[in-house]
Amino acid sequence: MILVTGPTGCIGRAVVDRLTSSGHAVRLLWHWGHEHRVPRRVSVFGGDVRNMNTLVDAMEGVETVVHLASIRREAGADRYEDVNVSGTRNVVEAVKHAKVPRLITVGCLGAEARSAFPFLRSMGKAEEIVRASGLNFTVLKSAVVFGEGDWLTAWLESISRNVPFVMPLPHRGDTKLQPIWVGDLAACVERCLTTRSTFRQVVPLGGPQSLMLSDVAALTLKITQRKRRFVRVPSSLTHQIAGFLSRFRGALTETEIEALSYNRTTEIGSVHRVFGFAPARMPTKLDYLRPDYQPPPLPVQF
């Protein structure tokens, strides 16, 4: 039995699909109070990573925990320190308590406990907690992810839909990214179950191309069949422009501006070296942005 925390997120949905399609028994930690359609063919435990009791109950009889629950923006009672840091500490403690033999998490390239950026700092602290746990862990330290429900292409698509004629690009659009398709990341999570070289390791991962933000924006415009002139906003003005754009749906949050403020790439070929398959190039997996896109029926319905 594999327990997945954060199963309704962009990565969580792909991981649950991948695991159930391969015949694994899957249990989900379903965030309390949040309304999503419950998938079929999985068992569901309501809970919250801030609540130890729910974690301990959900881990009974589990062989692997895939921990993906986190927040990308602070709102109300949801603070990075509580969800991303203490939540991960709780997951580690519950894994120990329930004697679960394996823990897999997805971290972020650029996340460090001493980062100046609050979100990345919290993810860096979470990673340190997992590394110091003494458990048989793997942290897949991932580049930015793209696929249905991601934040990056959703933002670019939304800005191009809502802002006429121009597309403002934070940090001049020069930030280097290495987008990895969510389906490939999910395949890596599954392969961690059996790939011994990932045991007790932090594994940096990225897609097969290093692309600048402006390249990703151009791909998004091409697939959505929109023409926009790039306005390359210098870093010194990025926050002001983001404030202006916040009146449009899908505006960038502080966290996302953080995520675009410095290059976040790793070895090209990391997926192939560690997991033995070639990840998809970005232009081949952007169908979900086409105006006439019909999502395929999923083996797991959300």
Ligand X SMILES: NC(=O)c1ccc[n+]([C@@H]2O[C@H](COP(=O)([O-])OP(=O)(O)OC[C@H]3O[C@@H](n4cnc5c(N)ncnc54)[C@H](OP(=O)(O)O)[C@@H]3O)[C@@H](O)[C@H]2O)c1
Name which position in 3, 4, 95, 106 contacts ligand X (CB under 6 A).
Answer: 106
Question: Contacts with ligand X in 15-44 (CB under 6 A)?
Answer: 29, 31, 34
Whole-angstrom CA distances from 180 to 81, 88, 154, 209, 234 are 27, 24, 15, 9, 26
Contacts with 45 (C-beta within 8 Å, 6 or more apart), sequence order: 3, 27, 28, 29, 30, 54, 57, 58
Name which position in 83, 95, 154, 167 contacts ligand X (CB under 6 A).
Answer: 83
**Closer CB to ligand X, 142 or 160, in the complex:** 142
**Closer CB to ligand X, 29 or 223, in the complex:** 29
Handedness of CA 5, 96, 194, 197 (dihedral sign): positive
Question: Looking at 47-55, 154-162, 222-230, 263-271, which segment touches ligand X (CB under 6 A)?
Answer: 47-55
CB of 164 to ligand X, least distance (A): 28
**Closer CB to ligand X, 187 or 228, in the complex:** 187
Handedness of CA 267, 271, 30, 1 (dihedral sign): negative
Instruction: Return the residue matching tokens 């916040």.
Output: 246
CB of 70 to ligand X, least distance (A): 3
CB of 166 to ligand X, least distance (A): 25
Query: With binding defined as CB under 6 A, does residue 79 bind ligand X?
Result: no
Site residue total, ligand X (CB under 6 A): 28
Query: With binding defined as CB under 6 A, does residue 72 bind ligand X?
Result: yes
Q: Residues, the chain, total?
A: 302
Question: Looking at 46-54, 210-218, 219-227, 284-292, which segment touches ligand X (CB under 6 A)?
Answer: 46-54
CB of 145 to ligand X, least distance (A): 4
Torsion-angle region of residue 211: left (phi > 0), alpha (psi -120 to 50) or beta? Answer: beta
In angstroms, rounded to a whole number, what is the distance separating the alpha carbons of residues 180 and 208? 8
Question: Contacts with ligand X in 130-149 (CB under 6 A)?
Answer: 142, 144-145
Please report, as a single letter, which amino acid is at residue 119: F
Residues 183-202, one symbol each (x = binds ligand X by CB under 6 A, - = not), give --------------------
Whole-angstrom CA distances from 1 to 39, 43, 100 are 16, 10, 10
**Closer CB to ligand X, 171 or 228, in the complex:** 171
Query: With binding defined as CB under 6 A, does residue 70 bind ligand X?
Result: yes
In angstroms, rounded to a whole number, what is the distance separating the alpha carbons of residues 199 and 282? 29
Query: With binding defined as CB under 6 A, does residue 227 bind ligand X?
Result: no
Query: With binding defined as CB under 6 A, does residue 50 bind ligand X?
Result: yes
Listing DSSP states for 62-107 in one string gives -SEEEE----SS-BTTB-HIIIIIIHHHHHHHHHHHTT-SEEEEEE
In angstroms, rounded to a whole number, what is the distance separating the alpha carbons of residues 187 and 207? 13
Residues near ligand X (CB under 6 A): 5-12, 29, 31, 34, 48-50, 68-72, 83, 87, 106, 108, 123, 142, 144-145, 150
